[in-house]
Structure 1
Amino acid sequence: MNEERYCHSKISMAILGTGAWGSALSTLAAANGYHIKLWSRRSCQTLTEVVKDADIILSAVSMKGVRDIISQLQLVKISPKTILVTATKGLDPQTTCTPSQIWQKAFLKNPVVVLSGPNLSKEIQKGLPAATVVASKIDGVAEMVQLIFSSYRFRVYTNHDPLGVELGGTLKNVIAIAAGVCDGLELGTNAKAALVTRGLAEMVRVGVDWGAQQDTFYGLSGLGDLLATCNSPLSRNYQVGYQLASGKKLSEIIENLEGTAEGVNTTQVLVRRARVQKISIPIAEQVHRLLQAEISPQQALWELMQRDVKAEYE
């Protein structure tokens, strides 16, 4: 990797997706003096024009838009030295793969970096302090991305477990829906603490089974993101659960959300894959049944509380 190519004054970044998250990341990089080009489906410039000669391409599109973006980029001649950064949280319904796995398969020669953490976009846009994680298996690549976004209000850490970092940010959305239900039913602090703790246990169980490192889930992109998302009304996934507990229908909730609640799709994909692999995820199972309108929030609670007694750690 030629580090001279990535010196501060020469770096050009294309950010794909101008929603709240993409816009927040753009603001952070621009404040550090980096040249940023933004693209969305409503842009005047074509995708080809925006990514031309970009040293870094960052994707902040929703999970459902990832494959379409990749298909378009495959028609563009991207240098194998271009760093691809994915800031999407979700699972692909077709393959159950994570975004970074899809990016890497499509661009085998390019370095891929995962960016994920407890990053509520509206707080970042207000300039409130936050931290995140950038992860790559290639030495030096995550460090380059780290420098682009790091500032006195946004602390960036590196990690060598991109799958774990990505799964932490993805799986916590399922638990955040359950947390919203918990608060919506006014079940109290004890119940919320138990739910989040056992939710983290499910995340670890899934992540390790899928090849991630256990320690990653106790960091910012796992526990940190879980705490933020399960405790903030700014979280769309939390809002889904909270409003389900108040009696609203899922279709009505989704229609009125500002943006995508990735946890709704993630729950379906996660449960399907976990059942095949026989991974125990009781909280996610109840969230899935709730989203499918098979049970009420109260019944989901009852079934979780009535499970067989067991040791905390197996």
Structure 2
Amino acid sequence: MTNSKSVAILGAGAWGASLANLAAANGHQVRVWSRQGSQTLQTVLEDAQIILSAISMIGVRDVASQIQSFSLSPETIFVTATKGLDPQTTCTPSQIWQTVFANHAVVVLSGPNLSKEIQLELPAATVVASNIPTAAEVVQLVFSSHRFRVYTNPDPLGVELGGTLKNVIAIAAGVCDGLHLGTNAKAALVTRGLTEMVRIGNDWGAKTETFYGLSGLGDLLATCNSPLSRNYQVGYQLAGGKTLKETLANLQGTAEGVNTCQVLMQRAKQQNIPVPITEQVYRLLQGEVTPRQALDELMLRDIKPEYNY
């Protein structure tokens, strides 16, 4: 391959491994770092032209500050593929990377991408978004293939929030299916969930149309309808009578929606944003209501117009 790039992937979980395989299949030189691995972070990052972070939210700030002490080329592009919010600051992962590496291009990669399906080489699409269009285009070429279609987008915050906020709605969708409430209920929940995501995103400064794209509606549909989604599983298991502790202990990997929900409630209160679905998911996760009570609360809300024109 003539335009081969040196790509460092941080995080060797299912998502990091899937992205590593996609880049390697396109002929790029890929190195993967994980905390359990034998190679140091510095070794893996040596001469990397693209550094992609697929680590869970809890580790982002710590890893970013470690990398800060290494000498990187000013041309190095950072890509973040983490979905979550920082509990301390309510920042998104890209905001953390951009704060630490103010002079580097930061690209967000997010979409309806269930890792297990990508590992099986089933077709999928994703979005790469950046304030620097050329950086997004470089990343687009690295990961695009006949089975993985990559679109660019100029709204990194909206793309990132789509992937983050839908995890909370996915917990609610899991509850809905776990209680066997039917297709009508689920369709209503997911649609109103999208409205809530747009409301929060707009307050944050994201563009409405981004949420109707792959990284918003697309990811919402995939996560709310798949038992492969860890966040969906959290809701489903809670509806089946399991405790949150039991449910999380049996999950393979992190259900980011649990932390996101808490951070979101904090922000919604500060900004005075109405978030009825997030609020009921929060109360459910706190053990304040049963799954059935949470759903009843949503159905009993005051009647109102669908849109405020």
TM tier, smaller:
over 0.9
1:189 pairs with 2:183: yes
Partner of 2:261: 267
1:250 pairs with 2:230: no
Partner of 1:222: 216
Query: Identity over the aligned pairs, expressed in percent?
Result: 73
1:254, 1:80 → 2: CA distance?
Answer: 40
| TM-fit CA distance, 1:7 | 6.0
1:284 to 278, 286, 301: 278
Structure 1 residue ranges (4+ consecutive) displaced by more than 4 angstroms after TM superposition: none
| TM-fit CA distance, 1:71 | 1.4
| TM-fit CA distance, 1:78 | 1.6
Partner of 1:8: 3
1:102, 1:21 → 2: CA distance?
Answer: 20
Structure 2, unaligned stretches of length 5 or more?
none
1:185, 1:34 → 2: CA distance?
Answer: 46
1:114 pairs with 2:141: no
2:146, 2:152 → 1: CA distance?
Answer: 17
1:61, 1:251 → 2: CA distance?
Answer: 22
Partner of 1:3: none
Q: Deviations over 1:152-196 (max 9, x none)?
A: 100000000000000000000000000000000000000000000
Matched residue type, 1:210: W
Tell me, what secondary structure is at the counterpart of 1:84?
strand
Partner of 1:26: 20
Equivalent residues in 2 for 1:1-314, closer than 5 Å: 8-9=3-4, 11-314=5-308
2:267, 2:300 → 1: CA distance?
Answer: 25
Q: Deviations over 1:25-51 (max 9, x none)?
A: 001111111100000001111100100
1:139, 1:229 → 2: CA distance?
Answer: 28
1:242, 1:120 → 2: CA distance?
Answer: 17
| TM-fit CA distance, 1:67 | 0.8
1:113, 1:27 → 2: CA distance?
Answer: 19
1:78, 1:192 → 2: CA distance?
Answer: 47
1:295, 1:39 → 2: CA distance?
Answer: 41
Tell me, what secondary structure is at the counterpart of 1:8?
coil
State the TM-score, normalizing by the size of structure 2.
Answer: 0.99
Matched residue type, 1:245: A
| TM-fit CA distance, 1:139 | 2.3
Matched residue type, 2:275: I
2:181, 2:2 → 1: CA distance?
Answer: 52
Tell me, what secondary structure is at the counterpart of 1:110?
coil
1:138, 1:7 → 2: CA distance?
Answer: 24
Q: Deviations over 1:265-309 (max 9, x none)?
A: 000000110011010110000000000000000100111100000
Q: Deviations over 1:181-219 (max 9, x none)?
A: 000000000000000000000000000110000000000
| TM-fit CA distance, 1:145 | 0.3
2:93, 2:50 → 1: CA distance?
Answer: 16
Structure 1, unaligned stretches of length 5 or more?
1-5
Tell me, what secondary structure is at the counterpart of 1:166?
helix
Tell me, what secondary structure is at the counterpart of 1:140?
helix
Q: CA RMSD in A?
A: 0.9
2:2, 2:68 → 1: CA distance?
Answer: 27
Tell me, what secondary structure is at the counterpart of 2:90?
coil
Tell me, what secondary structure is at the counterpart of 1:113?
strand
Tell me, what secondary structure is at the counterpart of 1:131?
strand
State the TM-score, normalizing by the size of structure 1.
Answer: 0.97
